Structure formats: structure tokens, C-alpha cells
Amino acid sequence: MSKLDEVKEVLNTLRIAMSIGFGLLVVIVVGLIKRYDDQNIDVLFWSGVGFALLTLIVISLLMVKISKKTIEIKDL
């Protein structure tokens, strides 16, 4: 496998991981909105807020890695 194919494969994997992260974020936010609308603000709600923020950080890191891999492909 050439270096270009290897980098493309890693890039595709990162894109899939980012898509899964966005899907997970949507599910978490919908759950948080439902709990908020039901006036059910408890430990589970705040845990969900923390997990949503953590998911945003992970998505941001994935975006940075995708950007670096895209630049690496340009250099090959």
C-alpha cells in the first residue's frame, strides 16, 4: 500500500469517526432538551451537559486531525 493510500484511509476513518461524533452529539442534545422541557434538571442532566461538551472537544480534535491529514495528502 502506498503512502498516499494509507493517508487517505486514515482520513476516511477520521471522517467516519467525526460523523459518528456528530450523531452522538445530536442524540445527547435531544435528550437534554427533553429533560429540560420536562423540568427534570438533575445529576443526569448535568452529566449529559458535560458529556456533550466532551463530545464537542473530541469532534474539534478530529477536525484538526482531518485538516492535518488533508494537508499531508497535498504534500504527497
pLDDT in tens, 6-65: 999 999 999 999 999 999 999 999 999 999 999 999 999 999 999 999 999 999 999 999
The answer to whether residues 45 and 35 touch, using CB atoms and an 8 Å cutoff, is yes
Radius of gyration over every alpha carbon of the chain, rounded to an integer in angstroms:
17
Q: Quote the pTM value.
A: 0.89
The whole-number pLDDT of residue 34 equals 97
The whole-number pLDDT of residue 76 equals 77
pLDDT of residue 74 exceeding 90: no
The answer to whether residues 59 and 22 touch, using CB atoms and an 8 Å cutoff, is yes
